[in-house]
Amino acid sequence: MTAKLIDGVAIGKELRGEIKQGVDVLEASGCKPGLAVILVGENPASQTYVKNKEKSSVEAGMKSELIRLPATVSEQELLANVNKLNNDDSIHGILVQLPLPDHIDEDLVIQAIDPSKDVDGFHPQNVGKMMIGQETFLPCTPHGIMEMLKRSGIEIAGKHAVIIGRSNIVGKPMGQLLLQKDATVTYCHSRTKDLPSFTKQADILIVAIGRAKFVTDEHIKDGAVVIDVGMNRDENGKLCGDVDFEKAKKVASAITPVPGGVGPMTITMLLKNTLQSAEMACRKEKSN
């Protein structure tokens, strides 16, 4: 078997076209969606992510604001910047790029973001809403994966979804979103014993561990759908995922590549959340 490719670039492009239409409609009514990104320090991966976020938001017709702060910025000053954006009516989405330097309390910063502008879906209030299935901003990577599965016609109800990784950004919310669509969900992580015994049961396998080419055909059931959230460099410095693509594609029925799989979807969902936020804010403004 050779797996069908789940093309995040194509799906992301289609979705960004829809988002652009939404932005145009909103702008015509006098309300331009605005996204602000705060980048602290010079982390090269973060710089690349932030550049891509800025470029995509401008392409979608949004206002884009990038605030660069030095790695030595105080927690207080960072919080003051967040607060300023909370009170700026032209900004509908605020994203503080993680990780932050060690001297800054990440939780405190996330909690300082106005939940109605928290387009990352990281604020505890929004995490709580997601847990109980209330409408809110969904974290971009798992949200993007759900959209990719939907647009690829992959059924979720009744399927066994196995997730490797339990981060707050990907693994944990991923399980919740799949559960809400009636999957049976198993979480695996670094302390899981006999990992293949779990992953071999997966109809849908989500891999988010941050180890280059860690998952091989030995972990995958025949015909499984494999979603690779990894973004690593291989021994030749080439971009690769957490899944050994060449080995996995022989047994999987569908698989996401790296690059060109989950990555483009994450940014797309950030734009979707920002549009959603602007639509709510502008509706509210009009009814006042």
Contact residues for ligand GUN, defined by CB under 6 A = 95-98, 120, 140-141, 169
Which one, 49 or 245, has the nearer CB to ligand GUN?
A: 49
Residue among 107, 127, 106, 105 at smallest CA distance from 115? 127
> Of residues 97, 172, 249, 276, which has the active-site annotation?
97
Minimum Å distance from CB 128 to ligand GUN?
Answer: 18
97 is catalytic: yes
CB 3 within 8 A of CB 226: yes
Write the DSSP assignment of 51-75 as a string of letters.
Answer: HHHHHHHHHTT-EEEEEEE-TT--H
Contact 219, 196 (CB under 8 A): yes
- Compare residues 11 and 265 and give the one whose CB is closer to ligand GUN: 265
Active site residue 194: no
DSSP annotation string for 86-99: HT-TT--EEEE-SP
> How big is the chain by its Cα radius of gyration, in Å?
19
Preceding omega of 139 cis (within 30 degrees of 0): no
What minimum distance in Å lies between the beta carbon of 174 and ligand GUN?
13
Closer by beta carbon to ligand GUN, 275 or else 282: 275
Residue linked to tokens 């060109």: 260
Residue 224, token pair as written in the block: 């499984």
Catalytic residue among 7, 117, 118, 120: 120
Looking at the Cβ atoms of 47 and 184, the one nearer to ligand GUN is: 47
- Is 20 among the catalytic positions? no
User: If DSSP states are collapsed to H, E and C, what string results for 102-170?
Assistant: CCCCHHHHHHHCCHHHCCCCCCHHHHHHHHCCCCCCCCHHHHHHHHHHHHCCCCCCCCEEEEECCCCCC
CB of 120 to ligand GUN, least distance (A): 5
Contact 165, 189 (CB under 8 A): yes
Residue nearest to ligand GUN (CB): 98
25 versus 108: smaller Cβ distance to ligand GUN: 108
Min separation Cβ 212 and ligand GUN, Å: 17
- Strands (E) across 189-244 are located at 204-207, 225-228, 232-233, 239-240
- Catalytic residue numbers read 53, 97, 120
